[in-house]
Amino acid sequence: MNLPEPVLQMYKTQFRELRATSGGSLHSVLSSFSELNDELWLILNRVVDWRERYCDSLLEADRLIAACSGARADVQNGGFHQYFANSSGDFWPDLLKLLQLSRDAAGEAHFREVLAHFPNSAPAIDREERELQLEQLDGTAKGEDFFDPFEALDQRYYDRLYPTDETLFAALKAMDDVEFIPNPD
């Protein structure tokens, strides 16, 4: 689904301005900021939104941004069961990579505990397949009452939320530099 024309023009204008002032590479954009703040979040989300709508695939940096946003929204709202039930769970390998790149050892260790509930510690990437895996884990596939296998892990997550803004910022800075800001022309 394409953006409405006024929004599309706003995105194009911002991308042109960013390319003119900061350059188009990921590292040049990040170096314009000392931390991940609201302004940078807006830029990152617009770039990912643009690529989701107008490009064939997401860059690795886009996937890390989507992984961060999705995990924070879904896990904080409904726990890891909700995260894996929703499309955010499609990005679980990217969330793991984000934690590794940022050297968030505690976050990575906790997330690996979550992943260990799945066969071979690897949830399906496909949402429908992952839903079947969840049904096996939560008992509903056998007609049993729902049991959330992630409940204790959810509580530990709420005590130490991840990924943080600092985690994402560190992971993006640790990546190889790539042409990041779309050229709208």
Per-residue pLDDT reduced to its tens digit, 151-173: 999 999 999 999 999 999 999 99
Secondary structure letter of residue 176 according to DSSP? P
For the whole model, what pTM was predicted?
Answer: 0.92
Q: Is residue 185 part of a domain?
A: no
CB-count exposure of residue 129 (10 Å: 0-12, 13-18, 19+): exposed
CA atoms within 13 A of residue 116's CA, in its CB half-sphere: 7
Euclidean distance between the first and the last CA atom of the chain, given in angstroms as a whole number: 19
Q: Which residues pair with 179 in a beta bridge?
A: 25
Higher pLDDT, 1 or 85: 85
Q: What is the band of 142 on the pLDDT scale with cuts at 50, 70, 90?
A: confident
Q: Is residue 156 part of a domain?
A: yes
The residue count of the chain comes to 185
Could you list the residue range(s) of the whole structural domain that residue 25 is in?
5-174
Does position 141 have pLDDT exceeding 80, yes or no?
no
Which residue pairs from 43-49 have beta carbons closer than 8 angstroms and sit at least 24 positions apart in sequence? 43/14, 43/18, 45/69, 46/11, 46/14, 46/15, 47/15, 47/180, 47/181, 47/182, 49/3, 49/11
Count of domains forming the chain:
1
Q: Is residue 26 part of a domain?
A: yes
Q: Is residue 122 part of a domain?
A: yes
**Model pLDDT for residues 103-138, shown as the tens digit of each residue:** 999 999 999 999 999 999 999 999 999 999 999 998
Q: Is residue 141 part of a domain?
A: yes
Q: Is residue 13 part of a domain?
A: yes
Provide the 10 A C-beta neighbour count for residue 27: 16
Nearest-5° Cα angle at 52, 50 to 53: 65
